[in-house]
Amino acid sequence: MTGDVSAGDRLELADWRRNVSDLYAAVRRASAADPERAWQLWRSAREELFRTHAQSPVPAAARDGFRASHWPYDPAYRFEVNLASEADADSVDLAPSEPLLGGFSLTLPISTGGQEGFTRIGRFEIPFAGGTRSLGVYWMAGYAGGVFLPFRDATNGGETYGAGRYLLDSAKSADLGPGARPGSLVLDFNFAFHPSCAFDPKWSCPLAPPENRLDIRIEAGERLS
């Protein structure tokens, strides 16, 4: 969030994060047996937070009538993949500056202007039906740290926010946990969501870099309408 933030705002924001953390914990438990039921829980609980919580990214005047829009759940967009280390990954469109914590330090653009520091820790090679695509994975240099995976695709600027969506943001508890295979993570694009700045420009959000622009349509997850 940009601008002055009061002590009350900070406590409300802490409560928002607590609620989101609890939601993702429940989603991880439910998805082990039924990923689609876990997604339905995520949709309904997240929509309720967006309508009722004081720190909702939706402007206050629009909250009562807010309804989230999503593509139907598609199991073909759920993957369990292992991270290819930065040493094994080819750099695309980004010039790393210096090695840091097993990756390379870099900056990503912020929606309100400026940049934020990250470490690129590797890549996911994702076997989509239309062919394998690669996405860079980042660790936040500041804030609380955490794995961060933003992406853009061919739905941006139409059905989805022009600057892309997020798949993982573990600093804010958006993380579906490990897969069944040792060392793997669950990447389920049905849980792809818009950053807060898609709802109100007062929010400051890091944006997906050029290397994470997919040339295919990801018809899964949150959409604008």
Query: With the CA atoms of 157, 163, 169 and 174 taken in that order, what torsion angle do they form, in degrees rounded to the nearest 10?
Result: -20
pLDDT at residue number 143? 63
Give every CB contact of residue 94 below 8 A, 6+ residues apart in sequence: 106, 120, 136, 209, 210, 211
pLDDT tens per residue across span 120-173: 999 999 999 999 999 999 998 776 689 999 999 999 999 999 999 999 999 889
Provide the pLDDT confidence category of residue 89 given band limits of 50, 70 and 90: very low
Provide the domain limits for residue 39. Answer: 7-223
Cα gap 132→192, rounded to integer Å: 18
| Domain contains 32 | yes
End-to-end CA distance of the chain: 24
pTM: 0.88
pLDDT at residue number 167? 98
| Domain contains 61 | yes
| Domain contains 111 | yes
pLDDT tens per residue across span 160-192: 999 999 999 998 899 999 999 999 999 999 999
Provide the pLDDT confidence category of residue 94 given band limits of 50, 70 and 90: very low
| Domain contains 154 | yes
118: left (phi over 0), alpha (psi -120 to 50) or beta: beta
| Domain contains 2 | no
| Domain contains 30 | yes
| Domain contains 57 | yes
| Domain contains 1 | no
Number of domains making up the chain:
1
